[in-house]
Structure 1
Amino acid sequence: MIVNTKFFDDIEIDEKEIIYFKDGIPGFEEYKRYVILNIDDKCNLKCLQSVDERDVCLIVINPFEYFLDFEIELSDEEILNLEIENESDVIVYSVLTIRDDKITANLLAPIIINVLKMKGKQIILTNRNYSIRQEIKCL
């Protein structure tokens, strides 16, 4: 399948790589299908690219690689909706905001993906110790 992307023009993907977001992503509820694309190995930056809309592309990181004390706890409902059976089936991403003077990660609303079932959801954490604008530095 050919997908027109924001940063990589047209790319071919296997349909098995498509992650389905039943409710979409807040702000982009009408778009349900996404794919993860690698941007930069050094910082482990990735794109969460909409399959259906080229301009809907979120830059994401694995927050555990940047914030060693980062923790999340999913509700029973979230686990059920994502069909999670094992913790090892889950990948977590945080959305980045890139400005001229700094890069911040949204730790308060991580994106959870069941990589076996290819289902995703952005959740809102109740832990107020996390920020939607936590500054990060690429090493």
Structure 2
Amino acid sequence: MEISTKFFGDINIQEDSIINFKDGIPGLDEYKRYVIIDIEDSNIKCLQSVEEKDIALLIITPWDYFKDYEIELSDTELMELDINDYKDVMVYNVITVRENKITANLLAPIVVNIKNNQAKQVILNEKKYSIRQEISCSY
């Protein structure tokens, strides 16, 4: 299947690589289907909407930058995503790049069940995390 993307032009993706957000992502509720695109020579990835080319979020795997990062999913969240084993889970954080500064939203990780491609942005109750945690990246 061919899709148009914000940063990569038109690309071909496999249907089985599409990640489904049942309720959308907060603020982008109407867009439910996304694909994760690797950015060459980088730990950064792109969460690209399949439905709208201009909706593309840069994401990271938190443990590449924050070794002590922890999240705990509620029973409801586990049930919503049909998670039975934590080894079937991938966690990502949205990053923002502004004037030589990169921040990660550690308070609202994106959780993906890699067995069924169901995903949800989870809002944590942890006071120790920030929506704008500065990170250092080497390019």
TM-score by length of 1: 0.97
Which residue is 2:113 aligned to? 114
Q: CA RMSD in A?
A: 0.8
Q: Distance in 2 between matches of 1:64 and 1:87?
A: 15
Return the letter of the residue paired with 2:72: E
Q: What stretches of structure 2 of length at least 5 have no aligned partner? A: none
Q: Distance in 2 between matches of 1:119 and 1:68?
A: 25
Shift, 1:40, TM fit: 3.6
Secondary structure of the equivalent of 2:77? Answer: helix
1:133 aligns with 2:132: yes
Shift, 1:41, TM fit: 3.0
Secondary structure of the equivalent of 1:28? Answer: coil
Shift, 1:39, TM fit: 1.1
1:32-71 maps to which residues of 2 (within 5 A)? 32-42=32-42, 44-71=43-70
Return the letter of the residue paired with 2:22: K
Shift, 1:101, TM fit: 2.6
Which residue is 1:9 aligned to? 9
Q: Distance in 1 between matches of 2:78 and 2:86?
A: 10
TM-score by length of 2: 0.97
Return the letter of the residue paired with 2:101: K
Q: Which moved more, 1:32-41 or 1:71-80?
A: 32-41
1:95 aligns with 2:97: no
How many residues end up aligned between the 2 structures?
Answer: 138
Q: What stretches of structure 1 of length at least 5 have no aligned partner? A: none
